[in-house]
Structure 1
Amino acid sequence: MKHLAGGIQWTVFLIASSIAAPIAIAHVFGMDPVATSLFMQRTIFVLGIACLIQAFFGHRMPINEGPAGLWWGIYVVYAGMVGIFYTTSTDALQALQSGMLYSGVLFIILAATGIITKMKVLFTPAITFTYLMLLILQLSGTFIKGMMGVEEAGDHLDPVILLGSFIVLVITFIAMANKRPSISRYAILVSIALGWGIFLMLGKTPTIAKVSDQLIQLPKMFVYGKPVWDSGVLVTAIFITLLLVANMLASIRVMEHLLEQTFQITQPDRLRQGAFASGFIHLIAGAFSAIGSVPISGSAGFVGTTRMPSIKPFIIGSTLLVLITLFPSIMAIFAALPAPVAYAVTFAIFTKMVSMAFNELDADPEKERARQAVAFGLMVGVGTMFVPAESLSQLPAVVASTLSNGLITGTILAIIIEQYMIRRRQRNSYSKM
């Protein structure tokens, strides 16, 4: 009974930390209620499967998988390319679906060759800071427009939606900062529930779609068509995978430290197994046309607060999550969450990433080198965001897709600049010897 109660708590936590991403992505791609419900079903189904794969075959720790913020950002970027580089939203989603498969294969290659443990040298505090800040800056416009009720160019601000979004934002900040664990632990769930109620009273909630007459329905595969070759998405997938590796390594290390220091539980080194599992998880995400996932560092806070280091409740909670997704009527209810609520809650979450980014930069021992790399990365990355995508449409697809993405362009440049300065300093040191 104790493990069952803990499992239910894990299920609530998994849903609360995963629901906003598919809602927001479905909104930017203009999906109707039915498509939104099915997209959410597939994404959360894959997340539940991902947790079970990691628990049995991967790192074998209670670390929940969540929609990768990196992929989330890329989805938003590619939604802006519809009508420019992609004819329809389906074409863009088909390319991203294939990107998950590229990423899965790369994960497996990195794990098999042992490269995965050597990659951390590129992701210095300065590079992490640059990437986080560019991601935040790139997505902030989408969040603000969503909270204003502005969906397309030419739309006017909706005062009612803006008021509701502001109230939800305040509630989220209060819940996240509450000293009572029973509230702060479920801040996202509390904010979504109250926000949903507020928008219901304001008359701004979408209708609940009737997805299927069937009581139980399995998620469909390759919804947007067969996998396709897209060189631009390949470049993006390679870069995102490298960053996801760093994210995964950090999440595993944080949980290992918690289990050893707080619960005196020593974990064997299973980084490579975790990477193999992440590869298969991305292949599954691509097959089910869902968002790729990543181990979430916040799970360490959940385990520390609930005092549940055992993996059994985690497995039970993940299993319950998979079972819930098989009922279309339940998923349709979740899909009716107003998009501005998801944007407001996500906005609050991303404000925490700003402090995380500056903490990373402060940890860099080479302050001058870090600032130079960051300066180049941010100026080029942010500047690229203001270049109209139409201006690059005549370039080869791989070049256009890379240059039109300020997030990728800025971060790559920061890595090149910093590695050049490191090599130059090493050469100067050798010449003086």
Structure 2
Amino acid sequence: MAQFMKLRPWVSGVQWLFFMFTNTVVIPITIGAAFSLSQESIVTLMQYSFIVTGIACMIQAGIGHKRAIMEGQSGLWWGVMLSLAAIAPAQGIPIATVGGSLIVGIIISGILTLMIGITGLGPLLSRMFTPNVMGVFMFLFGCQILGIFLQGMLGVPFGNETSDSEVAINLPVSLLSIIIVLIVIFISVKAPAKYRPYGLLIGILIGWFAYNMIFSTEATMTNITGFQFDIFILGTPDFHWGIILTAVVTGILNLANTFGSLKGTEPMYDISTTKSDYRRSFSITGVTTTIAGIIGLIPYAPYVSSIGFLSQTRILQRLPFVLAGIMFVSVGVVPLFASIFATIPLSIGSAVLFVAYLQLFLSAFGFFKQMNFTSTNVYRTAIPVFTGVIIMTMPGTYFSSLPELWQPLLSNGLLVGLMLAIVLEMAIPWDRI
């Protein structure tokens, strides 16, 4: 028994490691496909992702908000960057310009987030993110990111190198993806409770093996003998001001993740989040976001999904979390691991994450339940939700008649809907109507 108690932090740390791995491993692969990166660049992004994520988690747990909350590459940023990579070429913006301008915008956003942390403005900005705004955000983010995952599941390329006439659904790949979705859902719902947290990881392993067996593909691993250091992987810094504006707006809206994760874990830790907690957390997120812009990663934020993991496992102690961060950094330092993980088929990764992000509907519904809707105040939600969804279905060429500065921002349904929700909440006293 005493021996088990000594190993318990490490066992709990392995659970955290699996959670970090599942939420990180597919991101560099999808970004690499969207921005037409080489296999070498994808491997480098994979290494960066593991190392920076592990270090960010340890710093937040040690001197930041001091809770076991994963600090990872933001889902909001992920969805926006994939959307820009798909829409911008249709508006005549080269993919290299998209990547280079995003780098500039991300660095500016990181500096702004750092300044918000240093000045202590976080709690004041939290007033923008009401339950209605958060519900709209969760719903529209789910629509955008799940649409991207569904495209990956169907074997449809992101479209930077193919014309619309060449795009078609890959039926065998789609069938395998659907089977993996059903397997992951079954594990998450019907498997014994102790196995449910590993449903995503099991789905990746089964799908990865089946894909290589069925399609007889020889996964080409990049031969890297040491750690490869590179910067500006998405492209050399560029200045398309429309994309930079979109990135800065995304950075401001990304603050919602910090508010959601810290507020959501207050009952578990039986504490109230102080201004000092917000200040430290935002400062660290600002630094990691700036670093992410320089080396080509998606910017960082505390993961709201950590709340579900903590609720299910009850691993609230920081020691296992820090041990997982150390292990995650170690995986990133070894090039062989990154080379292997970079061969995960995009369709399999998309299928697994499709299941994971279905939970966003429950999150959105939870926020909307806090609202007392009537035939009068329903517009505060209906206008941003329907406007955002409709814009998502419109081709990027529809917005070519707008000023070039505003095209990338106004063609993104998620950002437009979220901004509409904030403006409507701040401009109209709905509770008095």
What residue number does 1:67 align with? 73
CA contact (8 A) 2:99 2:234 kept: yes
What residue number does 2:411 align with? 404
The answer to whether 1:19 aligns with 2:31 is no
CA separation of 1:226 and 1:310: change in aligned 2, threshold 3 A? same
What residue number does 2:36 align with? 30
Q: Distance in 2 between matches of 1:253 and 1:242?
A: 18
1:240 to 250, 255, 261: 250
With the length of structure 2 as denominator, give the TM-score of the two structures. Answer: 0.89
CA contact (8 A) 1:385 1:405 kept: yes
Q: Distance in 2 between matches of 1:378 and 1:303?
A: 30
Q: Distance in 1 between matches of 2:376 and 2:259?
A: 25
The answer to whether 1:132 aligns with 2:142 is no
Q: Which letter does structure 2 place at the counterpart of 1:196?
A: W
CA separation of 1:425 and 1:148: change in aligned 2, threshold 3 A? closer
CA separation of 1:418 and 1:267: change in aligned 2, threshold 3 A? closer
What residue number does 2:340 align with? 333
More moved, 340-349 vs 379-388: 379-388
What residue number does 1:123 align with? 129
CA contact (8 A) 2:14 2:324 kept: yes
Identical positions, percent? 27
SS of the residue corresponding to residue 398 of structure 1 reads coil
The answer to whether 1:279 aligns with 2:286 is yes
Q: Distance in 1 between matches of 2:288 and 2:55?
A: 8
What residue number does 2:3 align with? none
Equivalent residues, number: 420
Q: Distance in 2 between matches of 1:100 and 1:204?
A: 40
CA separation of 1:401 and 1:105: change in aligned 2, threshold 3 A? same
For residues 298-332 of structure 1, the C-alpha deviation after alignment (integer angstroms, 9 at most, x for no partner) is: 33443444443221221121122112112222101
CA contact (8 A) 2:55 2:325 kept: yes
CA contact (8 A) 1:176 1:184 kept: yes
SS of the residue corresponding to residue 20 of structure 2 reads helix
Q: Which letter does structure 2 place at the counterpart of 1:37?
A: V
With the length of structure 1 as denominator, give the TM-score of the two structures. Answer: 0.89
Describe how 1:29-68 pairs up with structure 2 within 5 A.
29-68=35-74
Q: Distance in 1 between matches of 2:273 and 2:418?
A: 33
What residue number does 2:323 align with? 316
- Cα drift, residue 415 of structure 1: 2.2
SS of the residue corresponding to residue 294 of structure 1 reads strand
Q: Which letter does structure 2 place at the counterpart of 1:158?
A: N
For residues 239-291 of structure 1, the C-alpha deviation after alignment (integer angstroms, 9 at most, x for no partner) is: 3233322211221222232122xxxx888651211111111110111122111
- Cα drift, residue 375 of structure 1: 1.7
What residue number does 2:177 align with? 165
1:375 to 379, 382, 398: 382
What residue number does 2:207 align with? 195
CA contact (8 A) 1:17 1:188 kept: no
For residues 65-97 of structure 1, the C-alpha deviation after alignment (integer angstroms, 9 at most, x for no partner) is: 222110111111111134345653332222222
Q: Distance in 1 between matches of 2:427 and 2:307?
A: 36
| Structural RMSD (CA) | 2.5
More moved, 273-282 vs 6-15: 6-15
Q: Which letter does structure 1 place at the counterpart of 2:28?
A: P
CA contact (8 A) 1:42 1:220 kept: no
CA separation of 1:77 and 1:304: change in aligned 2, threshold 3 A? closer
What residue number does 1:222 align with? 232
What residue number does 1:392 align with? 399
- Cα drift, residue 367 of structure 1: 4.7
SS of the residue corresponding to residue 232 of structure 2 reads coil
SS of the residue corresponding to residue 72 of structure 2 reads strand
CA separation of 1:82 and 1:412: change in aligned 2, threshold 3 A? closer
What residue number does 1:97 align with? 103
More moved, 164-173 vs 63-72: 63-72
Instruction: Give ranges in structure 1 of 5+ residues lacking alignment.
Output: 429-433
CA separation of 1:184 and 1:149: change in aligned 2, threshold 3 A? same
SS of the residue corresponding to residue 428 of structure 2 reads helix
- Cα drift, residue 205 of structure 1: 4.8
SS of the residue corresponding to residue 185 of structure 1 reads helix
2:266 to 256, 261, 266: 256
Q: Distance in 1 between matches of 2:384 and 2:218?
A: 40
CA contact (8 A) 1:373 1:415 kept: no
Q: Distance in 2 between matches of 1:303 and 1:126?
A: 25
Q: Distance in 1 between matches of 2:219 and 2:211?
A: 12
What residue number does 1:180 align with? 192
Q: Which letter does structure 2 place at the counterpart of 1:174?
A: F
What residue number does 1:431 align with? none
